[in-house]
Structure 1
Amino acid sequence: MNSPLLLSQTVLAGLLLTGAAQAQAVADYPIRPVPFTQVKLADNFWLPRLKTNTDVTIPASFQRCEATNRVKNFEMAAAKSGKFATTFPFDDTDIYKTIEGASYSLSLYPDEHLKEYVDVLIKKVAAAQEPDGYFYTARTIDPAHPHAWAGKERWEKERELSHELYNSGHLYEAAVAHYQATGQKNFLDIALKNADLVCATFGSGKRAVAPGHEIVEMGLVKLYRVTGQPKYLQTAKFFLDQRGQYKGYDPKSKDEWRNGQYWQDDKPVVAQTEAVGHAVRAEYLYSAMADVAALTGDKPLLAAVDTIWNNMVAKKMYVQGGTGSVPGGERFGDNYELPNTTAYNETCASVADVYWNQRMFQLHGDAKYADIMEKVLYNGLISGVGLDGKSFFYSNAMQIKNTAAFPQSEPARAGWFDCSCCPTNLARLFPSLPGYIYGQHNRDVYVNLFVSGTADLTVNKKRVQLVQQNNYPWDGALKFTVNPAASTDFNLLLRVPGWAREQAMPSNLYTFATPAGEPKKGRYQNQR
């Protein structure tokens, strides 16, 4: 590659930032992402993929939600008649996630037909909500005969199987995205009604549980940000604090289902030191830990999530950024348990890893988190979807052997799965990608991803347009043009990628076989 830093205008070089900022109690993340609506892409790598997501992936996901009776479940729940028509009680979330992706997409590519369809779908969702805000088609359709995973009463099997709070979490994430993208409150009001029920049900002196499949914590934080109501943040923290409190596990067992590790429930979150259990659940949990640590200034929580991140990057991540090596349970293995022949690497785990590393960067401002995010985006995640936008890998293999003794055909992509969490997770991540490129803290503007396009910023209360031009990842030459509306002074911090500093990972887990021999540089270079 050419030099990774080639600026159209070099103003004042110097000041290398070589390490992470010191952790400190903060009212919020010190660094905030530049919203995706303020970043317009013009590159040859990501922009076509985002367009395919809009033109193909999202419509195909909606069509498949219709064809597989996911939409019908909501219609039957509204009528309180029929029989749950899909396989899993969390199938509701495929609709939520696709609405989330469509909402982001509508901000980038206005489409009246798509908007009308989403509005109709939201009405069907609203009709399925019970009067007190409860939402769970697997029970509402026929309360006397709920899904086998659901239990006879609400929340009865939330710890292990029901996914009631998991469904709520994706509902919240989708509703916030829809509100931010459209300004409409019709979907947000549905989510808030459900969240109010959750807050009234769970908490100190009320019902207690560690949600079996995390994400409700992340969703509650988003509702807190939108509304400013403390109860949503307090309930998110309450769910975190419930981990490690359940007495029904066998701590001596090596079986992760029996000792609680599968659900990250074997220890209080502040005592956890390793990435364990189901990888997607884990990385959603760690994202929520970062959120709550940032918003509450909880230092033990921050220390725990830092320790877990270091464990994953140093001992539990594949070279292309995949996580969750063990097929049985879709989970993290032991330290250094990273076999190529049986690698699982669920696509959803890569999506969750992007969310987590974005938050870690916002906490600390260290480029190593953006290094991992870049590695995952360009390798461990993008393999999950075909160029056609409608064929997918659920898991992402590292090695396929074809021998007479062990005949194996190459893995084939599928258009849909019985458990189709991965296609709809990609549908929601892709259109939000522009929001991962830049970060800002006061007069510091961070460039984390190298994607051609234009960003409209406000720095020192003055408008600044930043134009990025490159042919990344095929070429490392970068060009930045800064167009301030008026004279202003700020720091433009450009990430020097790990690969440009002879660092395969921000750990010693992998190293390049033939280092280039150039001196190591700091993680960010300041152009002032």
Structure 2
Amino acid sequence: MKRYIFLFFCLCSIATFGQIQKDYPYRGVPFTKVKLNDNFWLPKLEINRTVTIPWSFQKSKETGRIKNFEQAVSHTGKLCTTYPFDDSDIYKIIEGAAYSLHVKYDAKLDTYLDSLITLIGKAQEPDGYLYTTRTMGDTTHPWIGKVRYEKEHELSHELYNMGHFYEAATAHYLATNKRNMLDIAIKNADHLLTVFGPGKKAVAPGHQVIEIGLVKLYRVTGNQKYFDLSKFFIDCRGQRKYEKKTGDKDATVWQTGAYWQDNIPVTQQTEALGHSVRAAYLYAGMADVASMTNNLDYLTALNKIWDNAFTKKTYITGGLGQAGNWEGFGPDYELSNHSAYCETCAAIASVYWNHRMFMMYGDSKYIDILERTLYNGLISGIGLDGKSFNYENPMEYNFQKGKLSGENKRSPWFGCSCCPTNICRLMPSIPGYVYAQKDNRVYINLFMSNSTTLEILPKENVTITQNTEYPWQGLVSISVEPNNKSNIQFPLYIRIPGWAKNVAFPTNLYSYKEKSPSSVSIKINGNDVAYSEENGYAIIDRIWKNGDKVLLNFPMTIHQVAANEKVKDNIGKMAIERGPIVYCAEFADNNGATSNLVVPDDQHFSEEFKPNLLNGVMTLKGASHAIQIENNVNVSTKTQPLVLIPYYARSNRGQGEMRVWFPTKIKNLEILTE
């Protein structure tokens, strides 16, 4: 259908009604231009399209999220759900559904989206305000205040809802060429311009995302005022005085405004603090604004914050957020395994932030973090069935006083279901992280079977095709075909993942215990090729002709990982990785327990791909010493087989113990009395 052929929204695109003068130096290739046929990712995206999105709409109806809009239309009723930000769940599902419409048109889904958009439009107040809880007349919720935006600086989420709405509206417009949702968004944004801005109301939004949404709306409409409002909201941070509260063990976070990243102006911030999802959304919004204004103060702050977050506060899975009581960052190097929060939404926000950092600087370290997060900390939040979820993603589950710790059972939904709905919109966008361009340079960032056609020079197109069984195998075949049948010269930048070069992490937070002698092999048409390197990329600059084939061979070494010695919880422990995949031991494969396992330093692993296990995974096998206690007195160890599975596939076979970090020796035992 012609109306579905379009230049999809991209963070580095040209606005529909106006030319953006400045933007990211590196342009991500939109997912709409990447046709996926990958054995790892395509089934996951299909499950998202056919199961997760319909399931999320169904649960939204069952739980009253859609009814909230119906009640807002009639201006009567009580909030059907727990939180006033539940409006945003509908918006995020619509965004994911819009992406999916482009991938595979579905007339029934298209019609259903139109019906929801019509309902949302009717729920919008005449002046553009859109917030179902207040519009239905329920002002009893303690988060929303007595008048509009009274508690926006804290928990009302009025602007948060609209940020997600703008993201959904721009996606829907560009996916369908329909203005029905976009016009609602424009009407709301115009309303915000009458309320907020210089000389008007100034507030730092309590939950960031409006900043990203406004920039997306600006890109589509070309209305400079939307962009300016995004920057205004960012610059409002650090201007408010917070009252002291007593009796709260985490009072400092609340007293200073650090929970909202509102303790000091953003240009003075140097540390990742507070709620991790809010924080990463803020940093992504700052990157958007900085890219168009060349705001060096923003960039200086972003670089310092990134260094702090990924040198001192990130889990091996790419997970962010150590502290569950405020869903956020903790002190430097405090990376507890059993209490790790690692919210799925934080992983998604990290992907957005790191991709923007790459587009700013063209450095592979940001894609290294992005890849680690995608394959581990992010997809661990969705069950293999597509309709069971984890909100938290800790590094271990143990029995403590007869109870299994942490969120050890996947749920079909949550009272706060920001994570399931966020997955709906993230999954279909994954092909958009594979490629990037700058001038005539082509960047290959991720490895999955696909094809794309790119314009290298004016009227000079090249089709690039990848074939691979990545992440299970390290062989990647890349075909380069100039479309006009003539030869064309351009530099191809291929990311060499850090793990393939014995670099476990872009910072010194994690390292490999032993260095592999293997090296990355690159051949063109069967011949070894010399290449230069820059910012983690192998650069092949040549005259390309039809039939040229680049063959990469990444060493899929099984690595033992050590944490920085300042991470006290992992002293004397190791984790296991193979390629981009972090592994764990789960109860189902290890005699029902994992908290009693000791894995010696000299352990060697074999690998076996099991197509019928967990939708097909590479397993690792070795041996461990299992601590055994007899008659509550006698302690001994027994050597037993150790089986490891990818961390993302955990919690799909019932409840039980799980562990990522393993002690390598026994130093002492704790004696407990009950």
TM-score normalised by the chain length of structure 1: 0.93
Summarize the alignment of residues 55-70 of structure 1 with structure 2, pairs less than 5 Å apart: 55-70=50-65
Which of 128, 131, 144 is residue 136 of structure 1 equivalent to?
131
Q: Return 40-49 or 509-518, whichever deviates more.
A: 509-518
C-alpha distance 151-409 of structure 1, shift in aligned 2 (>3 A): closer
Which of 351, 360, 366 is residue 369 of structure 1 equivalent to?
366
Summarize the alignment of residues 158-173 of structure 1 with structure 2, pairs less than 5 Å apart: 158-173=152-167
The amino acid across from 1:502 in the alignment is N
Q: Secondary structure at the match of 1:255?
A: helix
CA distance in 2, matches of 1:499, 1:373: 13
Deviation digits for residues 336-386 of structure 1 (CA, Å, limit 9, x no counterpart)? 010101101000000000000110000000000000000000000010001
Structure 2 equivalent of residue 123 of structure 1: 118
Which of 232, 253, 270 is residue 226 of structure 2 equivalent to?
232
Which of 21, 41, 47 is residue 46 of structure 1 equivalent to?
41
Question: 1:460, 1:488 within 8 Å by CA — same for their partners in 2?
Answer: no
CA distance in 2, matches of 1:38, 1:118: 23
Higher relative contact order (CA 8 A, sep 6+): 1
CA distance in 2, matches of 1:249, 1:456: 56
The amino acid across from 1:195 in the alignment is A
* 1:338 is the counterpart of 2:338: no
- Deviation, 1:410, is 7.5
Structure 2 equivalent of residue 86 of structure 1: 81
CA distance in 2, matches of 1:271, 1:78: 44
CA distance in 1, matches of 2:253, 2:77: 37
Structure 1 equivalent of residue 210 of structure 2: 216
Question: 1:504, 1:512 within 8 Å by CA — same for their partners in 2?
Answer: yes
Which of 172, 176, 194 is residue 200 of structure 1 equivalent to?
194
- Deviation, 1:407, is 5.1
CA distance in 1, matches of 2:405, 2:228: 50
Which of 143, 146, 150 is residue 144 of structure 2 equivalent to?
150
Structure 1 equivalent of residue 547 of structure 2: none
Deviation digits for residues 386-441 of structure 1 (CA, Å, limit 9, x no counterpart)? 11000000001201113666654881100100000000000000011111111111
- Deviation, 1:492, is 1.1
CA distance in 2, matches of 1:247, 1:316: 27
Deviation digits for residues 254-294 of structure 1 (CA, Å, limit 9, x no counterpart)? 62011110000001000000111000000000000100100
Structure 2 equivalent of residue 477 of structure 1: 475
C-alpha distance 416-406 of structure 1, shift in aligned 2 (>3 A): closer
Question: 1:96, 1:174 within 8 Å by CA — same for their partners in 2?
Answer: yes
Question: 2:124, 2:130 within 8 Å by CA — same for their partners in 1?
Answer: yes
Unaligned runs of 5+ in 2: 1-20, 521-532, 542-674
Question: 2:25, 2:360 within 8 Å by CA — same for their partners in 1?
Answer: yes
- Deviation, 1:158, is 0.3
C-alpha distance 201-508 of structure 1, shift in aligned 2 (>3 A): same
Structure 2 equivalent of residue 510 of structure 1: 510
Q: Secondary structure at the match of 2:478?
A: strand
Deviation digits for residues 133-158 of structure 1 (CA, Å, limit 9, x no counterpart)? 00000100016x35321101000000
Summarize the alignment of residues 287-306 of structure 1 with structure 2, pairs less than 5 Å apart: 287-306=284-303
Structure 1 equivalent of residue 493 of structure 2: 493
Question: 2:344, 2:392 within 8 Å by CA — same for their partners in 1?
Answer: yes
The amino acid across from 2:475 in the alignment is A
Q: Secondary structure at the match of 2:154?
A: coil
C-alpha distance 198-403 of structure 1, shift in aligned 2 (>3 A): closer
- Deviation, 1:301, is 0.4
- Deviation, 1:247, is 2.1
Question: 1:74, 1:128 within 8 Å by CA — same for their partners in 2?
Answer: yes
Structure 2 equivalent of residue 18 of structure 1: none
The amino acid across from 2:505 in the alignment is M
The amino acid across from 1:525 in the alignment is A
C-alpha distance 97-405 of structure 1, shift in aligned 2 (>3 A): closer
Structure 2 equivalent of residue 243 of structure 1: 237
CA distance in 1, matches of 2:143, 2:242: 18
CA distance in 2, matches of 1:416, 1:220: 29
Question: 1:249, 1:260 within 8 Å by CA — same for their partners in 2?
Answer: no
Structure 2 equivalent of residue 360 of structure 1: 357
C-alpha distance 251-438 of structure 1, shift in aligned 2 (>3 A): farther
Structure 1 equivalent of residue 537 of structure 2: 524
Deviation digits for residues 74-130 of structure 1 (CA, Å, limit 9, x no counterpart)? 011011122221110000001000000000001101111111111111111111000
CA distance in 2, matches of 1:329, 1:407: 22
Q: Return 77-86 or 213-222, whichever deviates more.
A: 77-86
- Deviation, 1:161, is 1.2
Summarize the alignment of residues 397-408 of structure 1 with structure 2, pairs less than 5 Å apart: 397-402=394-399, 408=405
Q: Secondary structure at the match of 1:248?
A: coil
Q: Secondary structure at the match of 1:132?
A: coil
Deviation digits for residues 303-352 of structure 1 (CA, Å, limit 9, x no counterpart)? 11111111111000001100001111101001101010110100000000
Q: Secondary structure at the match of 1:77?
A: helix
Structure 1 equivalent of residue 280 of structure 2: 283
- Deviation, 1:488, is 2.1
Amino-acid identity (%): 53
C-alpha distance 409-341 of structure 1, shift in aligned 2 (>3 A): closer
Question: 2:390, 2:407 within 8 Å by CA — same for their partners in 1?
Answer: no
Structure 2 equivalent of residue 23 of structure 1: none
What is the root-mean-square deviation of aligned Cα atoms in Å?
1.7
The amino acid across from 1:495 in the alignment is R
The amino acid across from 2:220 in the alignment is V
Which of 301, 311, 314 is residue 311 of structure 2 equivalent to?
314
The amino acid across from 2:313 in the alignment is K
Structure 2 equivalent of residue 463 of structure 1: 461
- Deviation, 1:458, is 1.0
- Deviation, 1:484, is 1.1
More helix by share: 1
Question: 2:392, 2:407 within 8 Å by CA — same for their partners in 1?
Answer: no
- Deviation, 1:184, is 0.8
Question: 2:236, 2:265 within 8 Å by CA — same for their partners in 1?
Answer: yes
CA distance in 1, matches of 2:445, 2:334: 30
Q: Return 123-132 or 478-487, whichever deviates more.
A: 478-487
Unaligned runs of 5+ in 1: 1-25
CA distance in 1, matches of 2:206, 2:245: 18
- Deviation, 1:515, is 1.4
C-alpha distance 250-404 of structure 1, shift in aligned 2 (>3 A): closer
Summarize the alignment of residues 250-269 of structure 1 with structure 2, pairs less than 5 Å apart: 255-269=252-266
Question: 1:30, 1:362 within 8 Å by CA — same for their partners in 2?
Answer: yes
C-alpha distance 408-369 of structure 1, shift in aligned 2 (>3 A): closer
Question: 2:433, 2:446 within 8 Å by CA — same for their partners in 1?
Answer: yes
Q: Return 78-87 or 211-220, whichever deviates more.
A: 78-87
Structure 2 equivalent of residue 73 of structure 1: 68
Question: 1:438, 1:449 within 8 Å by CA — same for their partners in 2?
Answer: yes
Q: Return 146-155 or 343-352, whichever deviates more.
A: 146-155
Q: Secondary structure at the match of 1:378?
A: helix
More strand by share: 2
Question: 1:34, 1:435 within 8 Å by CA — same for their partners in 2?
Answer: yes
TM-score normalised by the chain length of structure 2: 0.73
CA distance in 2, matches of 1:284, 1:404: 38
CA distance in 2, matches of 1:406, 1:91: 31
CA distance in 2, matches of 1:267, 1:409: 33
CA distance in 1, matches of 2:401, 2:110: 53
Deviation digits for residues 188-218 of structure 1 (CA, Å, limit 9, x no counterpart)? 0001110111122111100000000000000
Question: 2:339, 2:406 within 8 Å by CA — same for their partners in 1?
Answer: no
